[in-house]
Structure 1
């Protein structure tokens, strides 16, 4: 065992997590000292890679701050339902009451990054993967809505900037409420890092904490928020999923999602979350939203949606 592996093996987690190595059969088959523990990234939750002879796993453990606005008991069940469809890594153990689950770690897969959104064929694969989720015969226990999310985050952190932007989006809220679309199972947070890609090109989605029933426009619009592809190329990629009649509604969804992200970041920052990317993401989304609100096409979208 090398120095790094020895350090990981010695890493002690909080007592409740350490107890799993004795109580959970999947982990108890190896002595605790045989498990290598590697912390993985996460803004609002704790994830650990657990390695032992013949085992390579991910433990998802609920973070404290997100319990204010998420039902942590739902994530493991959501992930298991989607894994059964082949769209997510297999879930091997879960405890909904305590909010944790264990999934297979896909060592041969890599998370996507912002640079991947410049690859039109890969973006098409991402959209197709989401389309399969949207057509799936499953029902998530939660329902989501754009302004329900925004208003929840504002209630937890009613800063002047977010309050001002929320007021500016009221015409969008009223327009979208006139003709609600059909709700389908949605990921809700399909940012590139939540897509894993194997060498053979197969995609998997992870992080199902926000998953809910919503209009598919939420997921489709979210994928495009960071894409550097020209607008015309993005539209071509989305045409199989969005007909011309839905395009104005899609554009309004994009604008509202910018405030969903910005108000979520603001709430996390106000609550003391020190993740370094939060302020940068908030500022980027606010800047994009202001540009969108100044778009001369906005009145036409409001009239046609």
Structure 2
């Protein structure tokens, strides 16, 4: 590929850390996927070789969403050290440059293949058994932070009641022995399989010490796995993480927490950007929260 000076964005719009890393001629092409940051493929020729890197620029709302670059870098470096994440090459307050993984995201057919569910289960079980990062995600605190960020017009009585119920679930109905190294954003776009069929996990911006059931409930939600696929995942996960002994009952509790987190995040993002995609996600999540709470009401014996 021949890269010319005209193929990259202007010096005014390209972050300085990308310009400094690259030779004079490079291209910076947008990568589809991801809602809260800006992802690019950086390419250039150097010493007769074609080089490709992944560049992520932090959005204007990055710090507003209680994210910290130092926490993200530390988590991804730890995960990369055991082969679960791409290596970080450049760390900067505006973003990062990482190895480019040549591979593919799984489509909906691939996502439900038994062998791929097994691979995800092994990766997740491995992650959860690593030393916990120093940064901890307090789910109740994060939910309350999102809620307090909302404009008064969005703080409905129903939303306030759902939030109170969710915090009660966190404090009273989650197993206490499930703390570990969590990714906190496990969706299909954040998994990539390279040409040697090795699976990697991307986007570590929410990673922290946390409740490991959050990752599993997120997987079940975002991959839209049904009963047999969820059963298969849990059998593999509990095999690779024998001390976990995860049950569907505890995941039904966490499913409400995950959906409530999703709902509040969507409202916050819509409030900031007024983007229709966030409104659609908000409406979908609003229905899903109600459905999951109704399901749980049939299962739980609530504390009086």
Q: Kindly indicate whether residue 62 of structure 2 is the aligned counterpart of residue 61 of structure 1.
A: no
What residue is the counterpart of 1:211 in the other structure? 207
Residue 38 (structure 1) aligns with: 29
Give secondary structure in 2 for the equivalent of 1:65: coil
Per the TM alignment, residue 298 of structure 1 is displaced from its structure 2 partner at its CA by 2.9
Cα distance in 2 between the residues matched to 1:74 and 1:14: 28
- Residue 165 (structure 1) aligned with residue 159 (structure 2): yes
Answering whether residue 99 of structure 2 is matched by residue 104 of structure 1, we say: yes
Q: Out of 127, 135, 139, which is 1:133 matched to?
A: 127
- TM score, norm. by length of structure 1: 0.83
The alpha-carbon distance between structure 1 residues 298 and 8, as it changes in their structure 2 partners (threshold 3 A), is: farther
**Aligned residue in 2 for 1:284:** 284
Contact 2:234 2:246 in 1 (8 A): no
Q: Is the 8 A contact 1:186 1:211 kept in 2?
A: yes
Q: 1:73 aligns with which of 70, 73, 76?
A: 70
Moved more, 114-123 or 209-218: 114-123
When residues 132 and 227 of structure 1 are mapped into structure 2, their CA distance, relative to the original with a 3 A threshold, is same
- Deviation string, structure 1 residues 74-131 (Cα, Å, up to 9, x no partner): 2223212211110011222223xx1522111112x11235554333432332222111
List 4+ stretches of structure 1 deviating above 6 A: none
Q: 1:227 to 1:37 in 2, by over 3 A?
A: closer
Q: 1:14-49 CA deviation, whole Å, 9 max, x = no partner?
A: 457145423x4xx3xx2x22x111122332222221
Q: C-alpha offsets along residues 127-181 of structure 1, whole Å, 9 cap, x if unaligned?
A: 22111111123x3232113332222111111554666234135344224313533
* Paired positions, count: 289
Q: Using the TM superposition, name which of 262-271 and 151-160 deviates more.
A: 151-160
User: CA, structure 1 residues 103+177, in 2 after alignment: closer, same or farther (shift >3 Å)?
Assistant: same
Q: Could you tell me how far apart the structure 1 residues matched to 2:11 and 2:300 are? A: 51
Q: Which range moves more in the overlay, 261-270 or 248-257?
A: 248-257
Any unmatched runs of 5+ in structure 2? 239-243
Aligned counterparts of 1:16 and 1:10: Cα–Cα separation in 2? 8
